[in-house]
Structure 1
């Protein structure tokens, strides 16, 4: 019954097949017939195309945010006038950016009828600009290719940043507001 199978002999090694090496044909010099100047012109033409064509150059431009226009409204309110314009430049929903700004500033605020962000408290334009830079770093720019061409999407209660240029995807932290103390006159007990 076992006669068809060859006996196992651990002392014998399997023979390797010999690799036949073929004679390679002598490759002609690809630069033969071209002068140094012609080759140099060819290289500079390719480089010139690379500067003009952003796909070849690996365009690494970032978002250029305009300085925030901030006004005082009364004694303890600050108005961020070009808030909606900044959101359009970043291609983000105003509610998400507003939540981040208000959380970072540690205050409350809302959009008024003229689509300006009204914030409770006194803040300088530098405060808004620094927070917007942090927002761009965390929620707009792709970490792989540094491109601002990204989309923010929510999957299974996780917020993810999808790059349209390189196709990478990473999860980003949810915006968690800290403790805000309610300050103001309390209702009189009756």
Structure 2
């Protein structure tokens, strides 16, 4: 068994070396065929638990700088998707109410990148994010295309813990009487 796994690992390494050589040759001869934006690597989110009710997203500002997006917009997206609130932090970290894992943040960041960073036409991450009047636009620096970015909407079913008893955004029906939502 151990010999078979070592053979498989060596074969995978050989295949990766061949792929690297092919991409290097393509980059040298025709760089327009190989999208450098596809090679953008984002590190996994570093998440710490503070007590039992707070989660700290440590490398939040690094993500914002890598994506070249305003931290306020990324924060608004994450908080709306999680359906929670944050507390200010002097070290520019995101402190969120609730116990979350790095997988939760990783999935949300992927959704953010797909919706607000990546160009739909050429799949480049070399885009700018601007606001004109009331709409946000994503403009690709590589191909020149432009699209309207989706609005940030509250998603109360992301973590799967809450029931979908919400009607609209401000009222909740509990045991036959209508009360205001305090979230």
Answer whether TM exceeds 0.5 for this pair.
Answer: yes
1:73 to 50, 53, 60: 50
Match of 2:182 in 1: 182
Pair 1:52-2:28 in alignment: yes
Deviations along 1:142-190, whole A, 9 cap, x unmatched? 000000000011112111100000000000112134648426xxxxxxx
Shift of 1:49: 6.2
Pair 1:166-2:143 in alignment: yes
Specify every segment of 5 or more residues in structure 2 that has no aligned partner in the other structure, as ranges.
1-22, 156-168, 171-180
- Paired residues of 1:151 and 1:164 also in contact (CA < 8 A): yes
Pair 1:137-2:114 in alignment: yes
Structure (1 or 2) with the larger CA radius of gyration: 1
More strand per residue: 1 or 2?
A: 2
Shift of 1:82: 0.5
Query: Cα RMSD over matched residues?
Result: 2.2
- Paired residues of 1:60 and 1:146 also in contact (CA < 8 A): no
TM-score (norm 2): 0.68
More helix per residue: 1 or 2?
A: 2
Shift of 1:51: 2.3
**How many residue pairs end up in the alignment?**
137
Pair 1:85-2:55 in alignment: no
SS in 2 for 1:159: strand
- Paired residues of 1:151 and 1:163 also in contact (CA < 8 A): yes
Match of 1:25 in 2: none
Deviations along 1:102-125, whole A, 9 cap, x unmatched? 111110014400111000001011
TM-score (norm 1): 0.66
